[in-house]
Structure 1
Amino acid sequence: MTTVRAAVFELLRARGVTTVFGNPGSTELPFLRDFPDDFRYVLGLQEAVAVGMADGHAQATGTTALVNLHTAPGVGNAMGAVVNAAANHTPMVITAGQQVRAMMTMEALLTNVDATTLPRPAVKWAYEPPRPQDVPAALARAFHLAETAPRGPVFLSLPMDDFDVELDEAEAAAARHAAGRRVTDETAAAGPAVAALAARLAAARNPVLVTGGSVDAEGAWDAAVALAERRGMPVWASPIEGRVGFPEDHRLYRGVLPPALAPLAATLQGHDLVLVVGAPVFRYYPYVPGPVLPEGTGLALLTSDPGEAARAPVGDALVAGLRPTLERLTELLDKSEAPGDGPGTGAEPAEQAGAEPDTEPMSARTALAAVASAAPPETLWVNESPSNLQIFREFVRIDRPGSFLTTAGGGLGFGLAAAVGAQLGRPERPVVALVGDGSAQYAITALWTAAAYRAPVTFVIPANGEYAILKWFGRFENTPGVPGLDLPGLDLCALARGYGVTAHRATDAAHLAELVAAATAATDGPVLIEAPITTVPPSL
């Protein structure tokens, strides 16, 4: 006879999901018992780290991640990371153990009292199967929902006594059918709708393309480039995106739009049509009052997320798969000349300013220039240094798909964990994680996983001893005297060594570049490099 456990692992094998991220508790032990040799269990020492690693792994590999959490407390610990995964449109199936069915009614210890409500609204779907025999079908449904647009995390609560239940012949056959099903949703928009958009683009005097992270996630990078080149459109990156949707060294690339109403609208001045692809309209923070668009400017949105389409404050929206729709749109357009509104900003990364003194602490510009110069061209970058992100984008120009990850969710704790997951998923690529000293504390235990699994991630910590981005917001929002924004006494190297990670403290730019070059060339485990820096406030 086939047990529920056996059926579950067969379903996972059929889908190619043989890595499980988690932090086990007593309610998860029945699922993990006699763990199969062909599966890999990646242990995070805290649930948010497990979800963050799964997020990075799913985005780096283009597959759906599986996370196993510990009933209600574990889900609670993980919720910040789940919110980030939802904002990132990361396909992820989150399972959590539940008390045995016989004791759920009396709410025995570790009962998840309202299991399907707890993770909402950060998940697309939350479910607890009514019978053990329904677990395989529920898990199959979870994968289908996670992988169809808009992609994102889903949640299953699984009572711990379900896994040893035996399936009869009909139930086992149903489980096999569930394992074999596939759902495909890469559909182009209807022909008339694409033709109407093509006509609108052709008629526009000076259209502009704005790309978001979903362009990269949906494999539409080349299609976006082809459309921009066919129509000769300048290209801006949508603000606060978790991925890069257009090559930043391309002649048509202009930069990243400011994440506030008034300056964003001012940046788009002079364009009569804005085509937004794979991004919301728009992701703002902070609040700077102003119009969404300049007077007389129209907007069209192409997105696979019906929610993004519905909540856009202006413009018409087309809900469809990005790649096939962009390809068809390009076919319908006649080739246009390149725009005459100025040169692109993406030809070359910025040069390091030679006039800055080479002292400790370094300026953020000096430090990031050194890191950028030493990292290999094929680097997969993970960034969670909010106050230095603008400077990073000056020195590091992403020129290929799948090469940059940050979080669109706004919650800290993504960077260290996601970098470990990304490296485990793409071991052939060097992974460099730039993570602020404050941000690092939210997922510091990810260092242990990196060391335990010998993941050769290069962690670079630009350490300014404060929550610099919050100090900038404090000045911007005129809120002086806020406590808790300084971080004295952190010893990042000591913390890293305590978790088994080799650590160095860079003394100057040349030393930092030398350390990064050596770390990215190594394959025998992670390295953390602390780089003391001064603070440079960002700007809108």
Structure 2
Amino acid sequence: MKTQEYAAEKTMAPDSKRTVRSVVHDLMLKHGIFRIFGNPGSNELPFLTDLPEEIDYVLGLHEQAVVGMADGFAQASGEVAFVNLHAASGTGNAMGALTNSFYSRSPLVITAGQQVRETIGMHSFLSNVEAPQLTKPLTKWSCEPASASDVPRSFNEAVMQAQASAPGPVYLSIPYDDWEHEANANDELLLRRSYSEEHELSASAVEHLSGLISAAARPAIILGSAVDTVGANSAAITLAENTGADVYLAPSPYRLPFPNKHGQFRGVLPASIRAVNTTLAAYDLVLVIGAPVFRYHQHEPDHYLGEDVEFIHITDDPNEATRAPFGTAIVTDIKRALELLAEAVPPQETAIERPWQSYPATETPVDGIFDPARVFALLREHAPVDTSYVVESTSTNADFWSQMDLQEPASYFWPASGGLGFGLPAAVGVQMALTDRQVIGIIGDGSANYGITALWTAAQYDIPVIFIVLKNGTYGALRWFSQLLDTPDTPGMDVPDIDFLSLAQGYGVQAHAVDTDEDFIAALAGARASGKPHLIEVRTNLTQP
């Protein structure tokens, strides 16, 4: 097991005005970094001022010697060594020594001063142009923070990356005007972070975590798509039922790790900082398994987390763990972790009855226009219970989750990046893999155009996938976002007058348009019975995610 346990007692008392510099200095102390190996220049001076008295500066007369000393210290001590270099020229001077550090896997955190942000693009004197590329491939990770506010989080990630998995040198370029910026209130959460790696959760870790879960007055479990990917669904259900916890999916899930109509299921976490914080404020323990923390979308700034919330993050991805801005991170096999925790946490003595969730009522089509919720209700009632859905219709998300009843693993696939074009081709691929199950692609009319040629492949290879195109003539999710961003007059929102029947038939796929419930039910049954690909075009009204 490789563990970094960071004691916060050595951190400085908060300044009257917390700056990015003071937070990073505190993070150095928290991580046990008490010396800087360096050769300074003008870009580095704003960082080096007001150093805590616990931190020594070790001066080297050439950058190659600086890195060599740090490398020797890191190898002999087994600790992270901190290096401060001068812009691009100092970094270049250090590259020869950096080759040794890379191959010896020495955990070095190398920082370099950068010119003032607004002057970098002009190639001002002492600019480090495209700084993250400079040390590649001799660093395992490199970064220039996107903003001054992201410097403390990026520094924290750098220290963790240097030690995570296969250790090695990392590189961080920081514009020197960032240091005087006022710190973000969320930076204090970095001082409470911890990180550990275990191939399999140790008995002591299982005992500790199960104790936290059992003692929690109101726990929440947040499951990520990776739980479904590794086939840990049943263990996740057992753990949830033993704890009685509320269960959420992490924002923007691309797989379904938990039955969405289970009595403990509380939905998909919203994808904004404010909304997540508001949702989780009611809990005293939050356990996230198999998901990043978090993939926010719409920007609604707030505190990441309430002060009284214990937050545990279990993931199999060291990069997810190191870049997270808060929480106790454990990198391990998530399937085995769920199994061990499900065994260790006893069922509640007094079980809380949580009946399977019901479905909101839906309206029949009016003038041939369906509400998306009606389409999903019909699918729930008339498609096989083990149907696998590939969904790329963002504006109908709320209706999908309210109406569908998905219980089997691999029941749900979604574009993980958020970019369009995955859905229609992926439905073909999923059907090729899941030959004993029906695959239905639910595709928005805007999304369909990005992958429409996959219809030809489906036809040529007789792949019996069913495509349901929800046609509202617009990019519905963009219309919703235009309201959030107060940009109602933006162009390019509409995609009217696309004849999907002709497109499908031109590619060799049978297609039907439906206007009534009976039409839809008949088209679905006929498509299933044919053993060939089919497209069903459904005109829908405009809804929001």
TM-score normalised by the chain length of structure 1: 0.62
1:373–1:513 CA contact under 8 A, matched in 2? no
Alignment partners' CA distance in 1, 2:419 and 2:504: 22
**1:317 aligns to 2:297 (yes or no):** no
Structure 2 segments unaligned to the other structure (5+ residues): 1-132, 142-164, 166-196
Of 463, 474, 478 in structure 1, the residue corresponding to residue 471 of structure 2 is 463
1:383–1:389 CA contact under 8 A, matched in 2? no
> 1:530 is matched with which residue?
537
Alignment partners' CA distance in 2, 1:241 and 1:357: 29
When residues 293 and 477 of structure 1 are mapped into structure 2, their CA distance, relative to the original with a 3 A threshold, is same
- The one-letter code sitting in structure 2 at the alignment partner of 1:402 is A
> 1:303 is matched with which residue?
315
Alignment partners' CA distance in 2, 1:351 and 1:475: 26
> 2:297 is matched with which residue?
285
Alignment partners' CA distance in 1, 2:307 and 2:354: 24
Which secondary structure does the structure 2 equivalent of 1:246 belong to? coil
Alignment partners' CA distance in 1, 2:392 and 2:522: 22
Of 426, 440, 459 in structure 2, the residue corresponding to residue 432 of structure 1 is 440
- Displacement of 1:202 in angstroms is 2.1
Q: How does 1:488-503 map to 2 (within 5 A)?
A: 488-503=496-511
Alignment partners' CA distance in 2, 1:281 and 1:521: 43
- Displacement of 1:195 in angstroms is 2.2
Alignment partners' CA distance in 2, 1:339 and 1:308: 34
Structure 1 segments unaligned to the other structure (5+ residues): 1-116, 126-148, 150-184
Of 306, 317, 342 in structure 2, the residue corresponding to residue 330 of structure 1 is 342
- Displacement of 1:211 in angstroms is 0.5
Of 354, 359, 362 in structure 2, the residue corresponding to residue 353 of structure 1 is 362
When residues 422 and 390 of structure 1 are mapped into structure 2, their CA distance, relative to the original with a 3 A threshold, is same
**1:401 aligns to 2:409 (yes or no):** yes
> 1:237 is matched with which residue?
249
- Displacement of 1:187 in angstroms is 4.4
Alignment partners' CA distance in 2, 1:429 and 1:372: 15
**1:423 aligns to 2:431 (yes or no):** yes
Which secondary structure does the structure 1 equivalent of 2:391 belong to? strand
> 2:398 is matched with which residue?
390
Alignment partners' CA distance in 1, 2:349 and 2:484: 41
Which secondary structure does the structure 1 equivalent of 2:211 belong to? helix
- Displacement of 1:397 in angstroms is 1.9
**For each residue in 1:195-238, what CA deviation from the matched residue of structure 2 results, as whole angstroms up to 9, or x when unmatched?**
22222212222111111100000111111111112222121111
- Displacement of 1:293 in angstroms is 2.3
- Displacement of 1:400 in angstroms is 1.2
Q: Give the number of equivalent residue pairs.
A: 355
**For each residue in 1:456-481, what CA deviation from the matched residue of structure 2 results, as whole angstroms up to 9, or x when unmatched?**
01100010011111011011110121
1:232–1:337 CA contact under 8 A, matched in 2? no
TM-score normalised by the chain length of structure 2: 0.62
Q: Which structure ranks higher in relative contact order (CA pairs < 8 Å, sequence separation ≥ 6)? A: 1
**For each residue in 1:408-429, what CA deviation from the matched residue of structure 2 results, as whole angstroms up to 9, or x when unmatched?**
2111111111110011111111
1:370–1:510 CA contact under 8 A, matched in 2? no
- Displacement of 1:186 in angstroms is 11
When residues 448 and 287 of structure 1 are mapped into structure 2, their CA distance, relative to the original with a 3 A threshold, is same
> 1:208 is matched with which residue?
220
Alignment partners' CA distance in 1, 2:465 and 2:536: 11
> 2:81 is matched with which residue?
none
Alignment partners' CA distance in 1, 2:365 and 2:524: 21
Alignment partners' CA distance in 1, 2:263 and 2:490: 43
- Displacement of 1:338 in angstroms is 6.5
Alignment partners' CA distance in 2, 1:254 and 1:301: 19
- The one-letter code sitting in structure 1 at the alignment partner of 2:471 is A
Which secondary structure does the structure 2 equivalent of 1:327 belong to? helix
**For each residue in 1:368-422, what CA deviation from the matched residue of structure 2 results, as whole angstroms up to 9, or x when unmatched?**
3223322111211110001112211111121111111111211111111111001
- The one-letter code sitting in structure 2 at the alignment partner of 1:479 is T
Q: How does 1:165-314 map to 2 (within 5 A)?
A: 187-314=199-326
Which secondary structure does the structure 1 equivalent of 2:450 belong to? helix
Identity in percent: 39
Which secondary structure does the structure 2 equivalent of 1:329 belong to? helix
Alignment partners' CA distance in 2, 1:508 and 1:328: 50
Alignment partners' CA distance in 2, 1:337 and 1:393: 31
2:198–2:331 CA contact under 8 A, matched in 1? no
Moved segments of 4+, more than 4 Å: 337-340
Which secondary structure does the structure 2 equivalent of 1:442 belong to? coil
Alignment partners' CA distance in 2, 1:475 and 1:203: 43
**For each residue in 1:79-121, what CA deviation from the matched residue of structure 2 results, as whole angstroms up to 9, or x when unmatched?**
xxxxxxxxxxxxxxxxxxxxxxxxxxxxxxxxxxxxxx9xx99
**For each residue in 1:463-500, what CA deviation from the matched residue of structure 2 results, as whole angstroms up to 9, or x when unmatched?**
00111110110111101211111112211111001100
Of 358, 364, 379 in structure 2, the residue corresponding to residue 371 of structure 1 is 379
Alignment partners' CA distance in 2, 1:338 and 1:510: 46
Alignment partners' CA distance in 1, 2:414 and 2:538: 20
When residues 353 and 337 of structure 1 are mapped into structure 2, their CA distance, relative to the original with a 3 A threshold, is farther
Which secondary structure does the structure 2 equivalent of 1:422 belong to? helix
- Displacement of 1:357 in angstroms is 5.2
> 2:459 is matched with which residue?
451
1:435–1:459 CA contact under 8 A, matched in 2? yes
When residues 502 and 357 of structure 1 are mapped into structure 2, their CA distance, relative to the original with a 3 A threshold, is closer
Alignment partners' CA distance in 1, 2:201 and 2:529: 45
1:186–1:324 CA contact under 8 A, matched in 2? no
Larger CA Rg, structure 1 vs 2: 2
Alignment partners' CA distance in 2, 1:352 and 1:518: 26
- Displacement of 1:351 in angstroms is 4.3
Which secondary structure does the structure 2 equivalent of 1:488 belong to? coil
Which secondary structure does the structure 1 equivalent of 2:430 belong to? helix
- The one-letter code sitting in structure 2 at the alignment partner of 1:365 is A
Alignment partners' CA distance in 2, 1:443 and 1:337: 52
1:515–1:529 CA contact under 8 A, matched in 2? yes
When residues 307 and 271 of structure 1 are mapped into structure 2, their CA distance, relative to the original with a 3 A threshold, is same
When residues 396 and 512 of structure 1 are mapped into structure 2, their CA distance, relative to the original with a 3 A threshold, is same
Alignment partners' CA distance in 2, 1:186 and 1:315: 17
When residues 504 and 215 of structure 1 are mapped into structure 2, their CA distance, relative to the original with a 3 A threshold, is same
Alignment partners' CA distance in 2, 1:274 and 1:305: 19
Alignment partners' CA distance in 2, 1:299 and 1:311: 15
